[in-house]
């Protein structure tokens, strides 16, 4: 897919939390890894919510809107995130609301339409639409809607990890290769910052997501063992058939994640293309 080809991608597994109130930005900035204070008008920031041990609770997009912020989160984590966020609401002037009437979509080839926040998605520049479905239908008219299979093929080609599939609540940002595009190391304090920064300074993660090219056409299933000389190194987290062959993302030992390393997946050769980053 090229950004020159009009397309629309529905964030079917995402839900919108509206964050309103005079303290919305400063309060949220203390709970996410991206720098909310530096979100420019007409843009959105990609970040993470981590717990006090630095492990990922969710990946999020934070978009500025009139009167507050929109937080786009994994639908599967909505209830637990609301409990978590409300736990850290004390005296701040902040109100959290959700709406089943709002959907989140990514639209490509939107030019300079500053009415929609700009985001990066799978290496492409897109616009993030958050609002009623009927309004989206007007914007999406005439655009190709990418199928889940097409999105997965594109995601694997771009070595883009997915929350709830390739990483989750047991993962540090550095293990998922998200420290460069989802974490600010220059902002003020946020929950879990000490652990995340310490890992960055010392580089002590023992495992990491990596993109593999697997011999053959059959897709290796999630959880299948990745090994070398009979020693287990990790597991497959996702896979897809692409025009570059059978690609898979796996969580493996850092020592085995060097490009060109040939590993074994159910008796099939699997070459490491690159660590996910």
pTM above 0.85, yes or no: yes
Predicted pLDDT of residue 217: 96
Tokens of 179: 């420290």
Predicted pLDDT of residue 4: 44
Predicted pLDDT of residue 136: 81
Q: Which of 14, 9, 6 is nearest to 154 (CA)?
A: 9
Predicted pLDDT of residue 6: 57
Neighbours of 86 (CB within 10 A): 10
Residues linked to residue 118 through DSSP beta bridges, in sequence order: 43, 127
Domain limits of the chain?
A: 7-157, 206-275
Grouped pLDDT means (10 residues each) for the chain, 277 residues? 58 86 96 94 89 96 88 93 96 91 76 73 79 82 83 91 95 96 93 95 92 97 97 98 97 96 97 93
Topology of domain 206-275, CATH: Elongation Factor Tu (Ef-tu); domain 3 (2.40.30)
Q: What are phi and psi of 65, to 5 degrees?
A: -145, 170
**Helix and strand totals (H; E) in the chain:** 5, 16
Quickly list H helices, the chain.
24-29, 78-87, 133-140, 148-157, 193-202
Predicted pLDDT of residue 108: 74
Q: Which of 37, 103, 24, 26 is nearest to 67 (CA)?
A: 24
Per-residue DSSP letters for 79-108? Answer: HHHHHHHHHT-SS---EEEE-TTEEEEEEE
**The CATH classification of domain 7-157, taken from the options 3.40.50.10320, 3.40.50.300, 3.30.1360.120, 3.30.830.10:** 3.30.1360.120
């Amino acid at each position: 897919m090229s950004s020159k080809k009009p397309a629309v991608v529905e964030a079917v597994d995402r839900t919108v939390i509206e964050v309103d109130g005079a303290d919305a930005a400063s309060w949220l900035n203390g709970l996410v890894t991206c720098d909310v204070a530096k979100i420019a008008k007409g843009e959105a920031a990609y970040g993470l919510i981590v717990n006090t041990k630095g492990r990922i609770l969710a990946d999020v997009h934070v978009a500025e809107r009139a009167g507050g912020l929109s937080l786009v989160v994994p639908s599967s984590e909505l209830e637990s995130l609301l409990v978590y966020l409300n736990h850290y609401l004390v005296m701040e002037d902040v109100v959290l609301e959700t709406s089943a009437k709002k959907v989140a979509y990514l639209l490509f080839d939107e030019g300079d339409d500053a009415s929609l926040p700009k985001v990066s998605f799978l290496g492409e520049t897109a616009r993030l639409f958050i609002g009623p479905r009927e309004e989206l239908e007007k914007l999406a008219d005439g655009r190709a809607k990418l199928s889940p299979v097409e999105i997965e093929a594109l995601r694997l080609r771009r070595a883009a990890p997915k929350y709830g599939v390739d990483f989750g609540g047991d993962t540090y940002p550095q293990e998922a290769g998200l420290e460069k595009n989802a974490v600010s190391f220059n902002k003020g304090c946020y929950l879990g910052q000490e652990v995340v920064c310490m890992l960055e300074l010392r580089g002590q993660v023992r495992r990491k997501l990596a993109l593999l090219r697997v011999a053959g056409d059959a897709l290796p299933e999630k959880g299948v063992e990745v090994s070398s000389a009979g020693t287990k190194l990790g597991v497959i987290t996702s896979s897809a058939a692409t025009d570059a062959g059978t690609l898979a993302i796996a969580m493996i030992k850092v020592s085995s994640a060097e490009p060109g390393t040939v590993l074994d997946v159910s008796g099939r050769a699997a070459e490491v293309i690159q660590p996910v980053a």
